[in-house]
Amino acid sequence: MRSRSGKVRRLGVTPQELLQSRFLLDSSLIEKPLDFPAIFGNALPVELEIGSGKGSFLLRRASQRPEINLLGVEWVQKYALYGADRARRAGLGNVKLVCADAAGLFKTSLPDRSLWRVHIYFPDPWPKKKHHRRRLIQPEFLRHVRRVLKLGGWLGIVTDHADYFRQISSALSAVRGLVPVPFHSQTQDGQLVGTNFERKYSAGGKPFYRLAALRYR
């Protein structure tokens, strides 16, 4: 969900066709609590990624874990469209994308105890002090994460920004019902999470900061 640059390939279909194919969710659906069995056509466990970008992590996990459903939340429309088109071309029926603000989505559109995992990889750190209030991961947001996770549900966060990591750790400690646990790789090929940002920052030798938590109450 960091600021993104660069071109994306042309879509193989129109945005309207992506909506009709149901790989891209209509924004009107998030005006009320989401009905995941209706959206995915089954009652499989649902995981959600915030800031799915071009869909690298989302599609990799969906192909490796066909027994789960994945919802990607992306604020930038061109990337939400691109990710949905990649899922369509790959035939991954267990993937849906929605173009939406994650903070608002968690407040109003996600039912209690509806998710098994929430993935947040390389969120925008808003490094200037005057912009810190814009950072997504604050205690109020984490309380919504706790609400929507099932008991035993998992939250995973990775950032390359040390100051933001310290703030996230502090915010997590202020939220009852989430307990820190070790963060393990989310891929089957040795990468930490397998996003474009991870590959970019790995090549530059930047350190990564990670944490995970379970809902226990």
The DSSP annotation for 135-165 comes to -S-SHHHHHHHHHHEEEEEEEEEEES-HHHH
First to last CA, the chain: 29
- 185: tokens are 């790789």
Burial of residue 191 (CB within 10 Å: 0-12, 13-18, 19+) is middle
Active-site residue 160, yes or no? Answer: no
Measured distance CA(164)–CA(34) in Å, rounded: 30
Cα–Cα distance measured from residue 35 to residue 30, given in angstroms and rounded to the nearest whole number: 10
Of 35, 101, 112, 124, catalytic: 124
27 three-state secondary structure: helix
* Active site residues per annotation: 124
